[in-house]
Each structure stands twice: as structure tokens, then as C-alpha cells.
Amino acid sequence: MEKQPSESISIEVVYPLPQEQILWQVQVAPNTTVREAIQASGILSRYSELELEKLSVGIFGKVTQLDTVVRVKDRIEIYRPLLADPKEVRKRRAAEGKQMKKGSGGEEK
């Protein structure tokens, strides 16, 4: 009897960098976790700054845990730390806008 090849599923692992977006197509076994898929992608050896247990990850834009089991055609996204707090940036922009509006009340005739 001929041995059947082991079943695998296709997923993607994405790591966005400021200058480029890295995307790996990876074949993994069913019931593979996000952690195992990231390891299988080889990204950790290419980018030494990535520490697996400290990564913030998601699947299709939804934050998830490393022990989540991946499904066929899942897109695992590795998130980089934010450089600025979005709430603080909005507050600062709003304050700058208010300052600009104060002086632009209308032209004097």
C-alpha cells in the first residue's frame, strides 16, 4: 500500500517594515498554532530583533494569541510597537487646530 503524503494547509505570515512588507507563504500541518507557524516561516532567523514570546500578533487584523490554531488561508500578522500613542497624537492635533482657529476669526476691514 502506498503511503499518502501528510496533509498540509497554506497560510501567510506577514511582517510589515517601514520600507517594505515581508510576506511568506507557508505550508503547515493542520492544528498548527500561530507560534509554530511563525517558527516554520523562518522569519525569526531573518530578523533577530523579533522575540517570539514578546510579539504582538493577529490574524487578518484581529489581535490573537500565539497558541491560537491557524486555519486554511489565514494571514498571520506580526505587529511592530507603536512609535506614538494614537490618542495622544489626536489630542495634540486637536489642540494645534484650536490654536490656529483662534487667530483666523475673519479679516478686518
Please tell me the predicted confidence (pLDDT) of residue 92: 79
Residue 93, burial from CB neighbour count under 10 angstroms (0-12, 13-18, 19+) = exposed
What is the C-alpha to C-alpha distance for residues 24 and 27, in angstroms, rounded to an integer? 10
Identify the CATH number of the domain defined by range 9-102.
3.10.20.30
What backbone torsions phi and psi does residue 38 show, to the nearest 5 degrees? -65, -45
Compute the Cα dihedral for 84, 74, 51, 16 and give only its sign: negative
Contact present, 60 and 73 (Cβ < 8 Å) = no
Q: Give the residue extent of every domain in the chain.
A: 9-102
State residue 96's pLDDT score: 79
- What's this model's pTM, rounded to 2 decimal places? 0.70
Query: What's the confidence (pLDDT) of residue 3?
Result: 44
Residue ranges of the chain with per-residue pLDDT less than 70 = 1-6, 82-85, 98-109
- The predicted pLDDT at position 1 comes to 43
